[in-house]
Structure 1
Amino acid sequence: MGIVLYAPALALEALTGINQVTAILSVGLVCTFYSTIGGMKAVLMTDVFQSLLMFAAVFSVIICAVVDKGSLSEIWRIAEEGHRTDLLNFDPDPTVRHSWFTLIIGGGVTFLSLYAVNQTQVQRYLTVKDLKTAQKALWLNWPILTALSLSTSFSGLAIYSRYVKCDPYDAKYINSFDQVSQLLSNNQTIF
């Protein structure tokens, strides 16, 4: 749960200049307060609000890219040229980054850990009236999560279409891929 407080504290620090410890304590106190006052219903409503914000953010990235590039097909064309759309990779080699085999096995383990044994998810299941309702909620989650996964994947392609020519390695700003963090820590502008 520490990362749940740390990530927004980093954003608050970067945007407002608030001290990190103060930001962590503030976020923690606000969340504790609304959870105490509103209970599990407040937590679930916050989850719904957060989900809507995630969809809005992802679609705003896609819309901005479409406006910039002119069409969805142009974004897809750029991604194809960059070899980012290899959808039919059935290589059983477990060291291959994204193949059907690695995605099904790795995704299966990941989603089982998130939806079968994750403490916060099980807590959500226990807040509904019976097992049948919990199962319905889980089945309803599947198409929503699929839509989010597909849209975030396409937003990645949209971002790629914007920065396809901004490779610091190809531009000889760095000699090794490990140097990107060093480049960023020196505040060098490469884009």
Structure 2
Amino acid sequence: MLRLMIIAAMSLALTVSFCGASEESTVEKFDDHGWTDVDNFTKEARREDFEAESVVGVDRVSRWQCIYHGTSTCRRSCFFFYTGHHYTWHQAITQCKLHGGTLATIDDAVEDAFIGAFSYRQKSTMWIGLNDRAIEGIWKWYSGSKVEYFNWAARQPDNWRGNEDCVEIWDREKGLWNDRKCTEKRGYICKK
């Protein structure tokens, strides 16, 4: 049975290992010198563990946080969480480009649990890259990657008042997704 491992470092870094049957786990942090490994502790992880532990930096502008996941091949997904000044969805796209990423895609339940827990713990609703701006009800990632995973809140998406085309991670719903008017201002999540 594959196990999901979390490691939290004293720095603002996190790595989750869910690759193959490996029990090995590492923490990486990113600074001016690039990626470096940091040893710390491990813990079996579920969404509740992400919520219970302070595994992601609590400053208003956290550095890139990375998780490793996958069953047949190991992939690394790195996220940049910004909860300070709020931006429209389009402004968030520009901000992510400035940080070297794109407005976040969420490709599976592991990524979703990781960023949903951050949103809930920080009490911050944040933009992700999902939208149906081109055709109502046809959801696409801004990055152009294929949409293979959804995690909508109950009765969502609802296109309330006929003008909700962008998607946010909803802090009050423990990281579930909600469609929202693109001109509303939120924090944002980038991915690289």
Normalising by the smaller structure, the TM-score range is under 0.3
Q: Which of 1 and 2 has greater Rg?
A: 1
Give the strand-richer structure, 1 or 2.
2
Q: Higher relative contact order at CA 8 Å, sep ≥6: structure 1 or structure 2?
A: 2
